[in-house]
Amino acid sequence: MTILTSDTLTLPAPLGGSLVNRVRHLQPGETAGLPTLELSDRAYADLEMIATGAYSPLSGFLGEADYRSAVSGMRLADGTPWSIPITLMVSREEAGQARGTVALTRAGQPVGLIEVSEQYTPDKAVEAQEVYRTTDPAHPGVAALMSAGEVYLAGEVTLFDVPRGAFPAHHRTPAEVRSVIEARGWRSTVAFQTRNPIHRAHEYLQKVALELVDGLLLHPLVGSTKGDDVPADVRVKAYEVLLDKYYPASRTLLSVYPAAMRYAGPREAILHALSRRNYGATHFIVGRDHAGVGSYYGTYDAQEIFSAFTAQELGIQILKFEHTFYCKTCGQLVSPRTCPHDGSHHLVLSGTKVRELLRAGEDLPAEFTRPEVAEVLREGYSRQ
């Protein structure tokens, strides 16, 4: 694999050529008399991602032509790479009221607008099979799809102010992240997607990547996740203590990624990479079972799917890493590429075992996670 150095790279152009910005302040009385639509957690996250440019070139929820093209061929109707349809799902009753300009609400308060240009009925079974590679209702992404409304609304959106949420110090739009990268003079930036605490294996991947580029964008997803995932506030605190002690401050940036998790494995890996291009990253790490859940996807399917696109189309360089772990005989973190020993030499803890140790207030091995991270996780589990 050819690695481009910091001497040859700079901020990439957003997908589509320019960064979408559909954020503004609510004007007094602006939504008075408009039909309203209450957004789900996922729809609200999608609204923010569209309006701030994280999902450039989208300026609204997908129309039918783009939807069907994305489902069947991982591209918008004009050929732009796009692997997951970003749609606004509503009930038939809600669709009957959704005409023209509709006020989008959360807890009854206006948070944005949609200019409804189209309504259509999807084939959810086909969407599930193509996007998630399964129609199994036990899959969290399939379950969310099937339980949502049966009509899709399309149209351009407006967001009334960016919701900084629980992490205002770390909540940045793509334009704001790009500004930080430029201010720091990074000519190359590697983004790391995570919905989990960072263990030593993740740290190893990030620091290997930092040997190749100028900066690391640690970009944890803080939108809605499965109920058994570590809560976002616990994870962010763990990231903070880890970066404070073990990473060079001038070369790392912690910034939250407000998207909702879909658990679409390979398809979601593409979306994660394209959106990080919009945030200004030149490189993106894809490791083992990226965005996966259960046993629905092969170990490296999320790496192989990128071959469907040219490097020019992606506009971001994919760094593919194999599974990493601590080898007791090698005495360090390794991968199958660098370790000659079989599994009996390796320290491997399942997620179930980690949760059992934390709930019991026991220590995690230092070879598995930093003690400061383990303490944050232990405190978090003690509150459950």
Which has the closest alpha carbon to 379: 234, 200, 282? 234
d(CA 127, CA 278) in angstroms, rounded, equals 25
Say if CB 235 and CB 209 are below 8 A apart.
no
Q: How far apart are CA 372 and CA 369, in angstroms?
A: 8
Q: What proportion of the chain, given as a percentage, has pLDDT over 90? A: 87
The pLDDT of residue 159 is 98
Please tell me the distance from the alpha carbon of residue 13 to that of residue 216, in angstroms, as a whole number.
18
Using DSSP's 3-state secondary structure scheme, residue 274 falls into helix
Tens-place pLDDT, residues 101-147: 999 999 999 999 999 999 999 999 999 999 999 999 999 999 999 99
* Partner residues linked to 102 by β-bridges: 114
Burial 110-138 (b: 16+ CB within 10 A, else e): bbbbbebeebbebebeebbebbbbbeeee
Domains of the chain listed by start with CATH number: 23-160 (3.10.400.10), 174-382 (3.40.50.620)
Distance CA 86, CA 166 (A): 24
Burial environment of residue 79 by CB neighbours within 10 A (0 to 12, 13 to 18, 19 or more): exposed
Using an 8 Å Cβ cutoff, are 221 and 259 in contact? yes
pLDDT at site 9: 56
Question: Do 257 and 291 touch, CB atoms closer than 8 A?
Answer: no
Query: Interhelix angle for 371-382 vs 351-359, to 10°?
Result: 70
Rounded to the nearest 5°, which phi and psi values hold at 365?
Answer: -55, 140
DSSP annotation of 315: -
In the chain, which residues have pLDDT < 70? 1-9, 351-352, 384
Residues 237 and 245: their CA atoms lie apart, in Å, by: 13
Query: How do residues 305-340 score in pLDDT, each as one tens digit?
Result: 999 999 999 999 999 999 999 999 999 999 999 999
User: What is the predicted pLDDT for the residue at 382?
Assistant: 75
Rounded Cα distance between 73 and 96, Å, is 30
What pLDDT is recorded for position 227?
Answer: 74
**What pLDDT sits at residue 1?**
35
Nearest to residue 179, comparing CAs of 212, 217, 224? 217
Residue 160, CA distances (Å) to 19, 21, 52, 110, 155 in order:
18, 11, 11, 8, 16
Beta strands in 33-108 (DSSP E): 36-38, 60-61, 88-90, 101-106
Q: Which of 91, 19, 99 is nearest to 55 (CA)?
A: 19
Nearest to 318 by CA among 364, 357, 282: 282
- Active-site residue set: 195-196
Instruction: Report pLDDT for 2.
Output: 38
Q: What is the dihedral of CA 272, 120, 158, 166, to 10 degrees?
A: -50
What pLDDT sits at residue 8? 52
3-state secondary structure 207-226: HHHHCCCCEEEEEEECCCCC
Are residues 3 and 212 in contact, defined by beta-carbon separation less than 8 angstroms?
yes
Helix (H) or strand (E) segment spanning residue 174: helix 174-184
* pLDDT at res. 380: 85
Other Cβ atoms within 10 Å of 72 Cβ, number: 11
CB 333 within 8 Å of CB 201: yes
